[in-house]
Amino acid sequence: MDKDFNMLFYTLLMCYGSCILAQFDDSGFEEDIYTDLTDFELDIAPRRVPRQVRAILTKETKPHIQELSIKTTIISRYAFTAVSCTMLNRHSAAAEGVFHFQIPAAAYVSNFTMIIGGRVYPSEVRPKDKKVKQDKEADPKPKKKEAGDTSQVESDVEVFRMAASIPGRNRAVFLLAYEELLQRRLGYYEQVTSLRPMQLVSRLNLDVTLVDHSPITYLEVLPLRNGKSYTSAAKTPATAAPPVSTVIKQNKNVCKVTFSPNIVQQAKITTNGNLGDFVVRYDVEREMGIGDIQVLNGHFVHYFAPKDLPAVPKNVVFVIDTSASMLGTKIRQTKEALFTILQDLRPGDHFNFVSFSSRIKVWQPRRLVPVTPLNVRDAKKFIYTLAPTGGTDIGGALQTGASLLSDYLAASDSNQNSVSLIIFLTDGRPTVGEVQSPRILGNTRSAVQEKFCVFTIGLGNDVDYRLLERMALENCGMMRRIPEDIDAKFMLKGFYDEIGTPLLSDIRINYTEDSVQYVTQHLFTNYFNGSEIVIAGKLTNQSAESLHVQVTASNSDKSIVLETDVPLRQRQVETEKHVKAAAAQAQGSGAGAGSKVTVPGSGGSGVETLESVAADFVERVWGFLSVKEGLRSRLRSQTSREREDHTQQATNLSLAYHFLTPLTSLLVEKPQVLSDGTMALAPTQGPLTDEAASANLLSDEGAEEAPLGSRHSSVTKTTGKAKKSHAKKSIRISKTSADGDPHFIVEFPLSKLTVCFNINGEPGHVLRLVSDHKHSGVTVNGKLIGAPAPVGSHKQQRTYFRTITIVVDQPKRSYIEITPKKVILDGQDRMIMPCDTTITVESGALSVAIVGKSNVTVTVGGSISFVILLHQYKNPAPYQKDHLGFYISNSKGLSPNCHGLLGQFLYEEVRLAESPVNSTDRGDMRTSTMLKVKDRSVPVVPKTRRIYSGSQTVDCWFAKNNAAKLIDGTYDDYVVSHMFDTGNWPDGTNGA
């Protein structure tokens, strides 16, 4: 295969000659002096590497990037991106490897992991400490942990940067994951991947997998976008071809794009590794009516983008900065954009211009004029005469523009169904008139009075973007940045194109009352052509057959009402289908057969399969939108109390979903490298931190009091009115449990026997552990995740419980969802609490006590208690995953009719019996121990099990064969459809 590829490559070089490698000498193929390139692991033969490329590689002093792999999977507009960067330190001395990667400014980093010297260094998201900067300045000593840095450099991009020492002759792998909800602008979505490794890369691979519920109607891969032109409105030639080595495969609902230039092809583009942006644009078919609703695991997302509607007339006032700083290129490009925008105004529109510096000028005082050829000609004359001079009176200009619009709207001849906007552009800060931002904002709010929207544009680097962003948010608009050295003409025109065609106003989207909760923004002032409205929320009743959706809006001179009943079960099945398709397609782009696509995760090993992440994509869309909404609400808060509430709410959501936001920081433990270039020995790590392990040490007597909750931390702020306090009380735990791989242990108090068994489940399956829905109203379900088995193990894989949900239907439906990282309590109020805090929360009949990084105790009505152990690994092996252990502490409130893998044994009596068995061909007899359960006989053998994080051992009778005949029915009878399933036991039994 390599020989064929080399021959093909050589043939291409001979055919195309200097047009392929014009910037390199032909002598690059001479056999004069070849330095060994084995370490670089190139994807082409070293003999085929031109001399100049060879020189660049061999002269590198910093660690070389052997492989950069970027895999993006887009599921219904929500993009998961996993970046893997492998660096090689070719030298004997330790060297600093710097990983930096540009991510879209709208995206959130969801995890980062380093693997250096064979050890895993996962990250941890924490609330941002206001004193961190001061502490770092005051204490120059190196820290064990360092925060990942995301610094904003452009309007639409941020840079994630992490540096770490790489031992001599060793490798480091950096794994970064980020998520983003793609926004529809100008009729398409745009997925941008930055390819700027700042050096030539031995193996560079980019895979973009697109799976959508709706058919894909438009797909385009742009040429690499260099420089800083990040605007989605950037013009591209109609005949522009995709970058070299790009492969596109597309069918109705699935598309795959790959880009894998070898090192010579990279050098042809640039030798400094700054390739540019790889841009994929696409759009999907629109459903008529209320739009597309997708349902998954108790959450929904609603995409609404109507088409073929007449444009709503608009009233627009352009407020343009003409201060002295606009002199030169800025004012020239602004004028060019305004000339073009004037041509796009429609006959039904009304408009005016305000220019401001130290003085304020109005083109047509005290009125807005209709769009006519004469008025457009006169407006162009006014724009042409604009001359930059003086200071910047931002407040006065906005007051003037708002007064023009307010007076026009108050007139009897104005169109009451029209859309009114101010488009405000500046390149500086207020220097004349009112210069205090809070007063400017307050005056603008008073002048606007929620009658129209303000859209703000900042041009250059000397702009108070916080002021412009707040001004837009407080007045139903948007803010756009235009970097200093970008052609502002195209960005201004592109921004106007986004908002220049309003189709609907006063949009309200309602759902069946009491069927949904925690819905993101569902009231919108305007809907513009080519955009999309996205709403997400939680379903309160997952067993409901349908969800009634109603959309009301105004269009021109009429009102629109759209409504329908959405079949929830059907949508759940359809969403699951295309999530599986996305995982399968991404899997197909793996390195080979049997390979698994992984992304950095919050699990112990720092990686998770894409399938496990994508399975919750609808909930993650909700979390993503909720964080965005919380940050916007925080920014436009009017009081410090209001700001603090929004800050805490957004922080809690950021922690729950492991998002790196302006309110959180990402901490990563770094390896210690000795002076001789080798790594320091790592301390022996157990599955828990020392503190967490000590908190899990329970009494040797299985039912004795155990002091859980001895440590304290600050109480994390949550939403709602539930009572919160520090967790201090002790609890009782029995041996009845499901922990580890998972190993099940059941105590039979009436029989004074302990029985154990294993369940070899499938990753992704949800198992019913306790089922007492009809009587006490309690149901417990657990979701399995998979992990590779240790070397030498007889198993092909391990499974663990990653999520446990406790659903309570009496006296009112509520639930608790527990993962190794967060606890969600949805009772009287909804709260999301990180598992690294120590806190007790009471909500109605429910009580949740968290001991940070140790365990969670759930009490229902005082007579039912469950303890969930948190197994968290610091530097895990590949087969170790963060997981949960489930223990029944108090079962008095559960009824004798309780069922489930554990619940069915709580009120049973069993006994042991000896049964004769033929042992040889001669007919010799021996006895075998049998466990009598109901009318069944189950062969058992004595075994010893470790429980409570290994702090205790239990002697038990082990039932083989996946608990066959021990449990009622078969394994499949305990697999349920979702985490909140409360269906009844199907009454299956096994024969004796």
Residue 168 gets which letter from DSSP? T
The Cα 55–Cα 67 span in angstroms is 19
pLDDT at 862: 82
Taking residues 649-670, what's their average pLDDT? Answer: 89
Which residue would you say has higher pLDDT here, 983 or 294? Answer: 294
pLDDT over threshold 50, residue 686:
no
What residues pair up with 173 in beta bridges, in sequence order?
86, 115
pLDDT over threshold 80, residue 610:
no
> Which amino acid is residue 82, in one-letter code?
A
Using one digit for the tens of pLDDT, what is the confidence trace for 40-95? Answer: 666 666 666 777 776 777 777 789 898 999 999 999 999 999 999 999 888 888 88
Backbone φ and ψ for 210, nearest 5 degrees, come out as -120, 120
pLDDT at 588: 61
**Angle 868-870-872 (CA atoms, 0-180°, nearest 5)?**
165
- State the DSSP H helix or E strand holding residue 111, giving kind and residue range, or none if neither: strand 108-116
The Cα 146–Cα 746 span in angstroms is 45
Per DSSP bridges, beta strands 839-843 and 723-725 are: antiparallel
Using one digit for the tens of pLDDT, what is the confidence trace for 726-752? Answer: 444 444 567 899 998 888 999 887 788
Per DSSP bridges, beta strands 419-426 and 314-321 are: parallel
pLDDT over threshold 90, residue 697:
no
The Cα 441–Cα 679 span in angstroms is 55
pLDDT over threshold 70, residue 606:
no
pLDDT at 255: 93
Taking residues 473-494, what's their average pLDDT? Answer: 87
Q: Read off the pLDDT band of 857 (50, 70, 90).
A: very high
- Report the largest interatomic distance among the alpha carbons of the chain, rounded to a whole angstrom: 115
The Cα 259–Cα 312 span in angstroms is 42
pLDDT at 794: 66
CB 856 within 8 A of CB 848: yes
pLDDT at 405: 94
Residue that the structure tokens 């139903």 belong to: 476
- State the DSSP H helix or E strand holding residue 178, giving kind and residue range, or none if neither: strand 170-181
* Mean predicted lDDT score pLDDT of the chain: 80
Classify the C-alpha dihedral 537-541-547-550 as positive or negative.
Answer: negative
Backbone φ and ψ for 929, nearest 5 degrees, come out as -85, 130
- The tokens for 816 are 């608790």
pLDDT at 5: 38
- Considering only CA atoms, which of 61, 122, 113 is closest in space to residue 85? 113
Q: Read off the pLDDT band of 681 (50, 70, 90).
A: low
Using one digit for the tens of pLDDT, what is the confidence trace for 289-332? Answer: 899 999 988 899 999 999 888 899 999 999 999 999 999 889 99
> Which amino acid is residue 365, in one-letter code?
P
pLDDT at 576: 86
The Cα 93–Cα 82 span in angstroms is 30
CB 183 within 8 A of CB 251: no
The Cα 269–Cα 276 span in angstroms is 10
pLDDT over threshold 80, residue 574:
yes
Q: What is the DSSP string of 283-333?
A: EEPPPSSS-EEEEETTEEEEEE---S-PPPPEEEEEEEE-SGGGTTHHHHH
Helix axes of 617-635 and 465-474: crossing angle, nearest 10 degrees: 110
Spatial CB neighbours of 764, under 8 Å, sequence gap ≥ 6:
611, 612, 615, 783, 784, 785, 786
Q: Read off the pLDDT band of 684 (50, 70, 90).
A: very low
pLDDT at 595: 41
Taking residues 842-871, what's their average pLDDT? Answer: 88
Classify the C-alpha dihedral 400-405-409-414 as positive or negative.
Answer: positive
pLDDT at 986: 63
pLDDT over threshold 70, residue 225:
yes
- Considering only CA atoms, which of 781, 724, 868, 987 is closest in space to residue 298? 781
The Cα 174–Cα 668 span in angstroms is 12
The Cα 34–Cα 844 span in angstroms is 76
Q: What is the DSSP string of 397-458?
A: HHHHHHHHHHHHHHSTTS-TT-EEEEEEEESS---SS---HHHHHHHHHHHHTTSSEEEEEE
Spatial CB neighbours of 426, under 8 Å, sequence gap ≥ 6:
321, 323, 392, 394, 456, 457, 458, 459, 463, 468
Q: Is 169 left (phi over 0), alpha (psi -120 to 50) or beta?
A: left
pLDDT at 6: 42
- The tokens for 302 are 């609603």
Spatial CB neighbours of 159, under 8 Å, sequence gap ≥ 6:
100, 101, 102, 103, 149, 150, 151, 152, 153
In Å, how far are 372, 736, 757, 929, 958 from 754, measured between CA atoms?
89, 9, 10, 14, 9
pLDDT at 423: 95
**Angle 644-646-650 (CA atoms, 0-180°, nearest 5)?**
120
Q: Is 907 left (phi over 0), alpha (psi -120 to 50) or beta?
A: alpha
Using one digit for the tens of pLDDT, what is the confidence trace for 136-179? Answer: 333 333 344 555 555 443 456 789 999 999 888 888 999 999 99
Reduced DSSP (H G I as helix, E B as strand, rest coil) percent helix, strand, coil of the chain, to 5: 20, 40, 40
SS3 call for 636 = coil
Q: What is the DSSP string of 575-604?
A: HHHHHHHHHHHHHHTSSSTT---EEE-SST
- The tokens for 566 are 């959405």
Taking residues 260-281, what's their average pLDDT? Answer: 91
Spatial CB neighbours of 337, under 8 Å, sequence gap ≥ 6:
488, 489, 490, 492, 493, 496
- State the DSSP H helix or E strand holding residue 66, giving kind and residue range, or none if neither: strand 64-75
Spatial CB neighbours of 755, under 8 Å, sequence gap ≥ 6:
745, 746, 748, 905, 910, 931, 940, 956, 957, 958, 959, 966
Taking residues 481-501, what's their average pLDDT? Answer: 87
Q: Is 275 left (phi over 0), alpha (psi -120 to 50) or beta?
A: alpha
Peptide bond into 683 cis (omega under 30): no
